[in-house]
Structure 1
Amino acid sequence: MSQSDKVPRRIESVRRAAESGALDDAERLCRELIDGCPAGAAAHAEASVALADILLRKGDAAAAFKAAHQAASSGAPALDVLSVLAPAAIATDARHEAGQCMAQFQRLAPQQQARILMYWAERLEDLYMFAHAASVLQPLADSPQADYDVLVFQAQLLLKAHRADAADAPLARAVRMDPERVGAHLARVRQRIQLGRIEDAVASALAVLARDAASTPAAAMLSEIAPERLPEAAVAALEATLDDADADLESRAAAGLAMGRLLETRGDHERAFDAFAAGNRALKRRAARRGHDYDHESVEASVDALQKTFLDRIDATGDDGIGLAFIVGMPRSGTTLLDRILAAHRQVVSVGEHAMMPAIAERAGTECGDSRQFEAGLAASADRWRSQYLSSLPHKPGADRMIVDKLPLNFWNVGLIARLFPRAVIIHACRDPRDVGLSSFRLRFPDAFRYVNDFNDFAHYYAQHSRLMAHWLTVVPGSILRIDYEQVVDSIEPSVRRLLDACGLPWDPACLKFSENREAVYTLSMGQVRRELYRDATRRWRRYGDRLADLERALEDSGVELPPA
């Protein structure tokens, strides 16, 4: 077979690998094909477009942007380049290229526009740009001939974009269009959980399971809020999925985590652990296939670079940041609890897990590892970055209104926050690392959280988090308030008073009744924070006995100090 005959087969192999989720394999095949073809050849152009698509699916917008330009230089069809360049340009804030893409898009036929809009929405979802993806779908959703799947997809994107109320319209239309299909009903379960309508969510999940006891998504969502109410037929279906070696990895993972939560409520912690472990093994395999393996060296390098970028003590001078509070820490360390406590105060507005600060950190090059380079960029752009952050908030912070940003992973950005907003309050949520690890093991995280499905990976990430937070304490001494989850649970009022004092807020007894706050919640704790403060989440790790020995050993080997048992 000639080389030219092999090219179409290799392109097809790339497509199959990408569609199956084996993104690392697809990228490798693509790069081999590009390296083996002369620039300007049709195969080189086609492989470059495919590479840009794969990189978008992997969430690497900058690399996809470069590959899209390479495809254009290789003579790829303009429509193919448009498809991959636009989402990459939007994600990298390349406004000139994005504008050119929109102008080209307007000249397309309606059917071409519809196909491209769906593709853009899917790739923007891969890039975690959910609000942008939902907006891209709006012309299709507004059409009198709107497709059921488009409406449900838009609603799912709106839920991921923390716009639960906005999901009402597309969901209602989808249900009217086809009441028997379950897609819209499943999305409604998630919407009602986010809005705190727990009984409605339970009723919706049970209604789906009454139609199809084998609906793993419905059973998984019900297990998050009321595992004890799972019907026996649904439990049997979960067990069958978990035992089916041919079931897809996502279904096996969901079944394992749901069964684990159910068995916990029955006090069967040994079997619960086995179910959680099976679910996490499936997730780890899925992540590996999609190129989302946890990289120990990369995480350590990021911490090293930040320590070099922020070498010197940061002095809190100026008034920037008055009325801002950032809650940081490991996910599952109690950040949502602290956020809900503060949000119950009459002068506080929470923006939840706000994504703007990480975006600014990327633009600022905080991981450059060169303090002089960073400071030069800061001198030129600090006002613009402050303005970008403040304009992304729903209200202006100030002495009479506090805005709370509770993105846990902003622990990476404490130095930048202190430089841009020296008067901001930084609250570090802490919890027994064994409970953080177990809690992470029990839940389905997005793929971006690469450390949660393996105790060794978790212990390493926790240790790097602790190393970085120790550095921030030397850089901004006296500016970080530590709040321990166990102290809040054991005696809430003293902790609440410390929180309010640090934020400069007057006492408000409503903060003690945070569970009565009916605002939407979009974190993995969305079910728990609707309950009054409960103690069964503290020291939960003890119930698992020897099953958590591997976690304790991994934490100790990573240098994490464990509280007394």
Structure 2
Amino acid sequence: MSNKQQALWQQAQRHTQHQQWRQAAAAYEAIVDHDRGFLPAWLELSMAKEKLDGYRDAYRAVVEASHIADVPPMAAMVVARRLRRFEDLPRLQDYVERTGLAGRVPPEKLIDLASFFASAGAYEKTLGWIEHALKLRPDLAEAHNMHGLVLMFAGRSEESATAFERALKIRPTFASVYSMLSRVAKITPEHHHVDALRRLLAQPNLSTKDEGHLAYALHNELHELGDHEGAWDALARGCRARRIEQPYDHAGTMAMFDTLRRHFDATFSRGDAFDDPLTPIFIVGLHRSGTTLLERILSGHPDVADAGETYTFSAQLRLAADHVCNVIADETIAARARDLDYGAIGRGFLESMRGRSRGRAFVTEKQNPNFILLGPIAKALPQARLLHMRRDPADTCFSNLRTLFTHEAAYSYDQIEMADYCKAYHDLMAHWREALPGRVFDIDYDAMVREPEAQARRIAAHCGFDFREDMLQVGRESGMVATASSHQVRKGIVTNRGGVWRAYERHLGPMMERLAGHGLA
């Protein structure tokens, strides 16, 4: 680095430290103009551009960084993390293979890399890396935790629980492990973690994040033990902790819904068809409405690949709108939606999903909140099938309340907000049916579990392929299920999952009264 570049770098770093992003970006750009192989400047430029809400420039800087050869492994990990940030999973996979990164990083970083690939659906490779990391570092709690997660996705519940227990033996305070373990362990009066969870929850200076994980785990275990009063107290504490950690802006969400309704009427929502051998199947609905069951039914067909929950379509929207967004969509995306290039969005989506399709003619996308974006999806992908799963509002809302999500369901930790969001969802779906005549295919959860073959036949016919008996074998060992229903769906098609909320009815007055006021109970 020349003296001039060194001075520019120091200047750029000062601007970064003071969060003067525009000046920092200009300095980093000046550096890479002189030396396009200087990796740190490309990475810093990407982060500065992201702070300035310049999604395209931030993404382009990462792409430039990925072209630089002979990168030290820790720097290459930063490139991989940034590619994951922009949902460029094909480029991420190529980068890791091309640089041999998996063989150059220590076990703790290999676990991070494994998590990137798990999000890309490459579970076999992920599992191999985790097992290799465990051979090198059997005392690494994070590796046992990740091992448990992937085994859980694979339906290997007993092995998953054992892996989680190993993580806790190494680190007894590993809060997020308890919340996962509570979903796969067989909880009995002789085998449970209730006492340990209560001790941990009594600790002073507990972070709200850990409190949420521990409280939800305690709720799950007490629920299985039949202690519904204790389970409710734990759930209420978990919801309070999550609400602090993840606030919800209902007014902003409703403004976004209103903007989308104004833009996407029956005329504007029609897109220009284009030929492509891959047909996407979008599965949407509220969380916990049966969408995982539907995907398992579809993926039982040999022509259908299950991609699970991805942010691929949302990432294409962000690129087109040149806007950084950490959820499916926000008010800025909605405001810019009318002026986007939907042909480019559709083609970009299909190219990104091609690897996940594994050469099959159909690929599912089961990101539930995509119900928000059915107008943009229909316009960008006229050939897409839009399947909407609906379930009893009380069952769905309570199931949301008792599920610890990542970041897409901020409305689900308060009874009133949950009920109001459910109403808003119903209203938006009514708009999509009107704006997209014949495109939205409704599927009733109760009908699905009551008469699965009849429903599977009508779904297959709508999607454009023949019904196969294997579609009903949802408890099959093959395939991965990386959702909150990963353990439940392996039990097959269960007809008695409804009405769980009744055990907590006396505590659910605010939600039930609000649903009734909305005409949903």
Alignment TM-score, normalising by the size of structure 2:
0.81
Alignment of 1:178-257 (within 5 A): 178-210=137-169, 214-228=173-187, 234-257=193-216
Query: Within 5 A, what are the aligned runs for 1:291-310?
Result: 293-310=247-264
Relative distance call for 1:439 and 1:127 in structure 2 (3 A) is farther
1:165-188 Cα distance to aligned partner (Å, 9 max, x none): 122343233222222232211211
Measured at CA, do residues 127 and 262 of structure 1 come closer, stay the same or move farther in structure 2, by a change above 3 Å?
farther
Q: What is the match of residue 92 of structure 1?
A: 55
Q: 1:46 aligns with which of 2, 6, 14?
A: 14
2 CA distance for matches of 1:284 and 1:387?
Answer: 38
Corresponding residue for 1:24?
none
| Counterpart AA for 1:537 | R
**Matching residue of 2:313:** 357
Match of 1:425 among 385, 400, 406: 385
3-state SS, counterpart of residue 389 of structure 2: strand
Q: Any stretches of 5+ residues in structure 2 without a counterpart?
A: 1-7, 32-37, 322-331
The 1:401/1:115 distance shift into structure 2, 3 A limit, reads closer
Matched, 1:438 2:403: no
- Deviation, 1:143, is 5.0
**Letter of the aligned partner of 1:311 in structure 2?**
D
Give the structure 2 partner of residue 35 of structure 1.
none
One-letter identity of the residue aligned with 1:69: A
The structural deviation recorded for 1:507 is 2.3
Pick from 133, 151, 168 the counterpart of residue 174 of structure 1: 133
Maintained 8 Å contact 1:253/1:282? yes
How far apart in 1 are the matches of 2:484 and 2:88?
19
The 8 Å contact of residues 307 and 369 in structure 1, kept in 2 or not, is answered as no
How does 1:109-508 map onto structure 2 within 5 Å?
Answer: 113=72, 116-119=75-78, 141-142=101-102, 146-210=105-169, 214-228=173-187, 234-287=193-246, 293-313=247-267, 314=269, 318=273, 323-365=279-321, 367=333, 369=335, 373-374=338-339, 377-378=340-341, 382=343, 384-394=344-354, 401-508=361-468
Amino acid at match of 2:425: H
Structure 1 match to 2:324? none
Question: 1:324: how far off?
Answer: 3.2
1:158 Cα deviation from its structure 2 partner: 2.6
Maintained 8 Å contact 1:194/1:521: yes
The 3 A distance-change label for structure 1 pair 393 and 116 is closer
In the TM superposition, what is the alpha-carbon distance from 1:102 to its structure 2 partner?
5.6
Q: Structure 1 pair 491/171, CA: closer, same or farther in 2 (3 Å)?
A: same
Question: Residue 483 of structure 1: SS of its match in structure 2?
Answer: strand
Question: For residues 513 and 30 of structure 2, what CA distance do their matches in structure 1 show?
Answer: 53
Q: Tell me if structure 1 keeps the 8 A contact 2:216–2:402.
A: yes
Distance across 1 between alignment mates of 2:367 and 2:430: 19
Which protein has greater RCO, CA pairs closer than 8 Å, 6+ apart?
Answer: 2
Give structure 1 stretches of 5+ with no counterpart.
Answer: 1-39, 53-63, 288-292
Change in 2 beyond 3 A, CA 1:554/1:128 = farther
- RMSD over aligned Cα atoms: 3.7
Q: Is the Cα–Cα contact under 8 Å of residues 223 and 258 in structure 1 kept in the other structure? A: yes
Q: Secondary structure at the match of 2:349?
A: helix
The residue that corresponds to 1:31 in the other structure is: none
The alpha-carbon distance between structure 1 residues 135 and 93, as it changes in their structure 2 partners (threshold 3 A), is farther
**Which residues of 2 match residues 1-40 of structure 1 at below 5 A?**
none
Partner of 1:26: none
- Judged with a 3 Å threshold, the aligned counterparts in structure 2 of structure 1 residues 127 and 245 are, in CA distance, closer, same or farther, namely farther
Change in 2 beyond 3 A, CA 1:517/1:79: closer
- Determine the C-alpha separation between the residues in 2 that align with 1:319 and 1:355: 22
Which amino acid is 1:485 matched to?
Y
Task: Judge conservation of contact 2:164–2:177 (CA < 8 Å) in 1.
Answer: yes
Share of identical aligned residues, percent?
25
The Cα offsets for residues 316-369 of structure 1, whole Å up to 9 and x where unpaired, read as 885758843211111211111111111112332222223222223334459455
CA–CA distance in 2 between the matches of 1:135 and 1:49?
A: 33
Q: In 2, are the aligned partners of 1:309 and 1:367 still within 8 Å (CA)?
A: no
Do the aligned partners of residues 220 and 98 (structure 1) sit closer, same or farther apart at CA in structure 2, a change above 3 Å counting? Answer: closer
What's the offset of the Cα at 1:541?
A: 1.3
User: For residues 183 and 41 of structure 2, what CA distance do their matches in structure 1 show?
Assistant: 42
Give the Cα separation in 2 of the matches to 1:303 and 1:534. 34
Partner-residue secondary structure (3-state), 1:156: helix
- Alignment partners' CA distance in 2, 1:67 and 1:494: 62
CA separation of 1:99 and 1:329: change in aligned 2, threshold 3 A? closer
Contact 1:216–1:255 under 8 Å retained in 2 = yes
The size of the alignment, in residue pairs, is 491
Shift of 1:434: 2.1
Q: Which amino acid aligns with 1:562?
A: L
Please give the per-residue CA displacement for 1:250-275, whole angstroms capped at 9, x wherever unaligned: 22111111111111112222211211
1:36 aligns with none
2-structure distance, mates of 1:201, 1:99: 36
Change (3 A) 1:452 1:129: farther
CA contact (8 A) 1:151 1:174 kept: yes
Distance in 2 (CA, whole Å) between partners of 1:385 and 1:357 is 8
Q: Would the aligned equivalents of 2:155 and 2:477 in 1 still touch at CA under 8 Å? A: no
TM-score (normalizing by structure 1)? 0.76
Distance of aligned partners of 1:420 and 1:155 in 2 relative to their CA distance in 1, 3 Å threshold: closer
